[in-house]
Amino acid sequence: MRKEESLNSAAIYHVPESVYSYPQDSNKLTVRIKTAKANCKKVVCRYKNIYEHTLRPYYKEMDLIATDEYCDYFETTISLAVRRFKYYFEIIDNEDLVWNFSSEGIAPSSEDYNEYFFYPFILDEEIPNSPKWAREGIIYQIFIDRFDNSDFSNDPPSISSWDSLPDSDSFFGGDFRGVINNLEYIASLGTTIIYLNPIFLSDTNHKYDTIDYYRIDPTFGTVSEAIELVRKAHEYGMRVILDAVFNHASNKNRIFSDVLEKGSKSEYFNWFCINGERIETSPPNYDSFAGLVPEMPRLNTSNTEVQNYLINVAVFWTQMLDIDGWRLDVADEVSHNLWKALRKRLREIKPDIFILGEVWNRATQWLNGDEFDGITNYKFRKYLVSFACDNCVSSIHFWNNVVSNEMNYKTSSLSFFANLISSHDVKRILTQMDGNKELVKLIFGVVMTYRGIPLLYYGDEIGLEGGDDPDNRRTMIWEEKSQDLDLKNFIVKLGKLRKLKKVFAYGTVNIIRNLPNRIIGFERTISKQNTLEQNIENVFILVNFDSESSNFNLKKSELSFENNKDELTSYFDGRTFKFNEDKHIDICLEGYDFIVLF
């Protein structure tokens, strides 16, 4: 008699879609299954062509790719000569009972089992097509008004002194020329992608309220200068992405003024969401950004006229400036139809365009391959900051949070997430760490070695401070004596490391568990099983977030370590660590130590 209790059946989850079943190419399908934590010893995927009725299914053992507080996640990629897959799972529980799991549910394993999940056809448009250059890159984000004022002739009417602190209405005169003049500096940091906050006509310093989508803000410079900026960035081997603010416009945009003037007779009346026949302003009878900011009326992006208008804007500037991608503002409140049509059109004119959506919360539904390549990974930052700042948060808790979040996504998407360290919408990392520069370094260390595209917010690299908005938008410090050069050099070294090894852009993440509470450890691995690359690479990252030193050992058996090295060397200081006879390495990390071994 089988003991049903040995398997937590209620916890087993798989659907043949979304992040649980997705193509890698026309003949390769990745499948994932969730089980209760430590409840299953092994999971096997049995698969064959949908229309194959006689031959036995193929066998593929699945990898335990992740574990969070309550669940395990197994994943593998199955291949067939055809694009039509059906499969079921064979689950071996802790008492060695074997279960079959298909769309018909869970049943004791039997020889004549004939139920399946179906992935009926891998369509061309489902094959991932995000650009390699993006996953291989490091982003440098620039809030132009605050970066460098190199051309005084285009300054706004009244600007604050460069050394003063910003308030929400301040202007400082930063401009395109300031970016162009500092391209060598940006490139020297190792960053390869410049992301500019909005550049189109607006009378605010942040320009997240566009007055004219077809005009570049004159206080930043001219169209020629924007073209020059992108061209010269390209000469440095850097890409440029712009901010698309398509959720809302400025109430000074002529599209809105026209409706204000003509009411429902305006050809743009249905471009906004107005409750009534004409616009009323107090109280406002139209939807706006967050439903709270009447100066930023929300565009009705479900309207195809609006979609076409905004797509034409994006196409126009992509071609005019020759930019390489777009960051989409408030991306989760805008019509999916706009994003789908936008991606399609942009890829027609630039097949390797990169599209990054601003989404703070779960973003799965925008990452089916036909909208965004990646999102702003605020969750990863949140967990990292919370771990770094609070001695009571254990590395296990940190990893549980990170893994739970990651398991909302296709593994292949995660390499395109922008792992931001700071941004114009959160505290600067140094301020967030209460000025503890050692912790800042560790955070940079983790982000620059982890999966995803590191994103540096201008100034973080030289120790710029800043609390919540608008303080996080202080002017850049250019005098070397006021810069934290030690921090900068550390970041430059990290950038070189990331370029040195493909594993940082392409490797999987294997969390090293059983480490002391304040130690984060992970492997980055390109293994034989990895479908994209041939060469095997292993790198180990160990980070001590405690001020005290820590001794522990790393067992070879717990690492997914495929070669026969008998020692590992620390990239930064050349320290070597030998595997002893018990096949483990004794590690001693100093307080706030960060080591990368390979």
Q: Take residue 120 and report the two structure tokens written for it.
A: 């009926």
Tell me if 474 sits within 8 A of 520, measured CB to CB: no
Crossing angle of the two packed helices 437-449 and 378-389, in degrees rounded to 10: 140
Residue 402 beta carbon to a second copy: minimum distance, rounded to whole angstroms? 12
d(CA 22, CA 32): 9
Residue 290 beta carbon to a second copy: minimum distance, rounded to whole angstroms? 5
Radius of gyration of the chain (CA): 26
84 touching a second copy, by CB under 8 A? yes
d(CA 467, CA 444): 18
Task: Decide whether 253 or 301 has the Cβ nearer to a second copy.
Answer: 301
Tell me if 227 sits within 8 A of 322, measured CB to CB: yes
Instruction: Say how many Å lie between the first and final Cα of the chain, rounded.
Output: 50
Q: How many Cα neighbours within 13 Å face the side chain of 551? A: 1
Q: Near a second copy by CB under 8 A, which window of 57-65, 66-74, 146-154, 526-534? A: 66-74
15 touching a second copy, by CB under 8 A? yes
Residue 467 beta carbon to a second copy: minimum distance, rounded to whole angstroms? 18
Query: Which residues are within 8 A (CB) of 291 and not within 5 positions of it... i.e. 6 or more apart?
Result: 298
d(CA 251, CA 211): 8
d(CA 519, CA 521): 6
302 touching a second copy, by CB under 8 A? yes
Q: Take residue 13 and report the two structure tokens written for it.
A: 């989850």
Residue 111 beta carbon to a second copy: minimum distance, rounded to whole angstroms? 20
What residues form DSSP beta bridges with 289?
Answer: 293
8 touching a second copy, by CB under 8 A? yes
Task: Decide whether 32 or 146 has the Cβ nearer to a second copy.
Answer: 32
d(CA 449, CA 541): 8
Residue 519 beta carbon to a second copy: minimum distance, rounded to whole angstroms? 22
1 touching a second copy, by CB under 8 A? no
82 touching a second copy, by CB under 8 A? yes
112 touching a second copy, by CB under 8 A? no
Spatial CA neighbour of 261 closest among 278, 245, 277, 249: 278
Residue 230 beta carbon to a second copy: minimum distance, rounded to whole angstroms? 30
17 touching a second copy, by CB under 8 A? yes
Task: Decide whether 35 or 76 has the Cβ nearer to a second copy.
Answer: 35
114 touching a second copy, by CB under 8 A? no
Residue 31 beta carbon to a second copy: minimum distance, rounded to whole angstroms? 14
d(CA 388, CA 531): 34
Give the number of other Cβ atoms within 10 Å of residue 44's Cβ: 18
Q: Near a second copy by CB under 8 A, which window of 131-139, 200-208, 229-237, 288-296? A: 288-296
Q: Take residue 589 and report the two structure tokens written for it.
A: 């990390």
Q: Total binding residues for a second copy by CB under 8 A?
A: 53
Q: Using CB under 8 A, which of 61, 69, 169, 235 touches a second copy?
A: 69
Residue 68 beta carbon to a second copy: minimum distance, rounded to whole angstroms? 8
Q: Using CB under 8 A, which of 6, 364, 394, 517 touches a second copy?
A: 364
- In degrees, rounded to 5, the angle at the alpha carbon of residue 272 between the alpha carbons of residues 270 and 275 is 85
Q: Using CB under 8 A, which of 61, 104, 261, 582 touches a second copy?
A: 104
Give, as ranges, the residues between 116 and 175 that touch a second copy (CB under 8 A): 117-118, 120-121, 123-125
Q: Using CB under 8 A, which of 2, 132, 265, 362 touches a second copy?
A: 362
Q: Near a second copy by CB under 8 A, which window of 152-160, 284-292, 440-448, 462-470? A: 284-292
Question: Residues 148, 151, 329, 484: which is the catalytic one?
Answer: 329
Tell me if 598 sits within 8 A of 539, measured CB to CB: yes
Q: Near a second copy by CB under 8 A, which window of 174-182, 212-220, 278-286, 396-404? A: 396-404
Crossing angle of the two packed helices 304-321 and 336-349, in degrees rounded to 10: 30
9 touching a second copy, by CB under 8 A? yes
Give the number of other Cβ atoms within 10 Å of residue 533's Cβ: 15
Tell me if 560 sits within 8 A of 554, measured CB to CB: no
Tell me if 133 sits within 8 A of 239, measured CB to CB: yes
Q: What does the per-residue mask of binding to a second copy show for 398-437, with x meaning CB under 8 A?
A: --xx--x---x-----------------------------
Look-up: residue for tokens 């990252």?
541
Q: What does the per-residue mask of binding to a second copy show for 321-360, with x meaning CB under 8 A?
A: -----------xxxxxx-----------------------
Is 287 an active-site residue? no
36 touching a second copy, by CB under 8 A? yes
Give the number of other Cβ atoms within 10 Å of residue 559's Cβ: 19
Residue 212 beta carbon to a second copy: minimum distance, rounded to whole angstroms? 25
d(CA 591, CA 524): 23
Task: Decide whether 165 or 290 has the Cβ nearer to a second copy.
Answer: 290
49 touching a second copy, by CB under 8 A? yes
Tell me if 65 sits within 8 A of 522, measured CB to CB: no
Tell me if 553 sits within 8 A of 581, measured CB to CB: no
Spatial CA neighbour of 483 closest among 185, 139, 143: 185
Task: Decide whether 59 or 70 has the Cβ nearer to a second copy.
Answer: 70
* Cis, peptide link before residue 157, omega less than 30° from 0: no
Is 329 an active-site residue? yes
Tell me, what DSSP letter sits at residue 382? Answer: H
Residue 274 beta carbon to a second copy: minimum distance, rounded to whole angstroms? 14
Residue 379 beta carbon to a second copy: minimum distance, rounded to whole angstroms? 9
Q: How far is CA 108 from CA 46, 117, 353, in A?
A: 15, 17, 48
Q: Near a second copy by CB under 8 A, which window of 97-105, 193-201, 321-329, 350-358? A: 97-105
Task: Decide whether 297 or 454 has the Cβ nearer to a second copy.
Answer: 297
- Using CA of residue 36, residue 40, residue 41, residue 44, what is the dihedral sign? negative
Q: Using CB under 8 A, which of 165, 223, 290, 588 touches a second copy?
A: 290
63 touching a second copy, by CB under 8 A? no
Q: Near a second copy by CB under 8 A, which window of 32-40, 226-234, 553-561, 564-572? A: 32-40
Kindly report the backbone phi and psi dihedral angles of residue 449, in degrees, each rounded to the nearest multiple of 5, phi listed first: -115, -5
Question: Residues 68, 151, 217, 358: which is the catalytic one?
Answer: 358
Q: Which spans of this chain sit near a second copy (rule: CB under 8 A)? A: 8-11, 13, 15-18, 35-37, 39, 49-51, 68-71, 82, 84, 103-106, 117-118, 120-121, 123-125, 290-292, 300-302, 332-337, 361-362, 364-365, 400-401, 404, 408
Residues annotated as part of the active site: 329, 358
